[in-house]
Structure 1
């Protein structure tokens, strides 16, 4: 499998991603959200995709969940795909009782944390099956075994510094604006799907 990002790396990357998403106003909810909702929520879910690996940080603590998932899908399978994000959101909206009041910014923070893990694993040589069950692996192998975890830590800290600096120091970015529009469209389509299922 090659280089695997550490739990520390995923935690740092999720914090940097949360800071970037809020400062870049990636969605209206994140733009006006509470830091104390967004960052803890991102940290809460940033290790969740590795539940498919019994030797991972979460896998060792939740073996009764990890082992069946590992047998069914293997490591970096279903849980490292966009389908998993969609399935988790659908399950949340359809199964979580209405009495569970979770702020919108916290929910988006949880999605952000999960996605940050997927993006971080894309930076390793093994890549991820983003479009699972399609087996194509998407990768941008910046992190390699020979470079060790020091590069991983440096990359996360650099991303954090840039996330803090970027929004105040750069003009409006077309890529960020396009990403925000795409997220809004996907959110609308998802809400329509959920509302149809509830009706």
Structure 2
């Protein structure tokens, strides 16, 4: 998935997580707080690729990650998610980061993995095992019109659902962020 696709899909996943009230913190938080945080973490897994959007901006991190793990290696695994959750938990508490911030960052990161799981290349969920997992039957080729249409359609449907079928007001107001 492209950076643009990951960002759109992060908004979709955040809207759905908020609507489903996956955690009490997500249910109570404002979408205006959740969406920017999810967007901020949605591109983190691609730090392992020097030519990615973040990789070009942070070459001193991207280069070593790429050499150590390659693209779609460790950073696209459940081990990385676990390490991230553990790391965020170290900063929770009074005056540090709230549960809503932690949950939104996790949603953004997981949205990236879910997006790449939809592509033919898949992701190594159980890295360091090399087996890649992907959704069978839905080859969402990275880039191009099909990916953009898929991301926009899922975002529109999530926005419509979140609004209870009353329109796409929240969705339209969130698009300038992207």
TM-score (normalised: structure 2): 0.84
Q: Name 2:50's counterpart in structure 1.
A: 54
Task: Please say if 1:40 is aligned against 2:36.
Answer: yes
SS in 1 for 2:17: helix
C-alpha deviation, 1:53, in angstroms:
0.4
Q: Provide the rounded CA distance (Å) in 1 between the counterparts of 2:9 and 2:158.
A: 11
CA contact (8 A) 1:18 1:39 kept: yes
CA contact (8 A) 2:92 2:99 kept: no
Q: Name 2:16's counterpart in structure 1.
A: 20
Q: Name 1:172's counterpart in structure 2.
A: none
Larger radius of gyration: 1
Structure 2 unmatched ranges of 5 or more: 166-178
Q: Provide the rounded CA distance (Å) in 2 between the counterparts of 1:114 and 1:163.
A: 18
Q: What is the RMSD computed on CA atoms of the aligned residues?
A: 1.8
C-alpha deviation, 1:164, in angstroms:
2.5
Task: Please say if 1:84 is aligned against 2:80.
Answer: yes
Structure 1 unmatched ranges of 5 or more: 170-199
1:147-166 map, 5 Å: 148-166=143-161
Q: Name 2:141's counterpart in structure 1.
A: 144
C-alpha deviation, 1:100, in angstroms:
5.0
Query: What is the number of equivalent residue pairs in this alignment?
Result: 162
Which 4+ residue blocks in structure 1 deviate beyond 4 angstroms? 97-100
TM-score (normalised: structure 1): 0.75
Q: Which moved more, 1:156-165 or 1:55-64?
A: 156-165
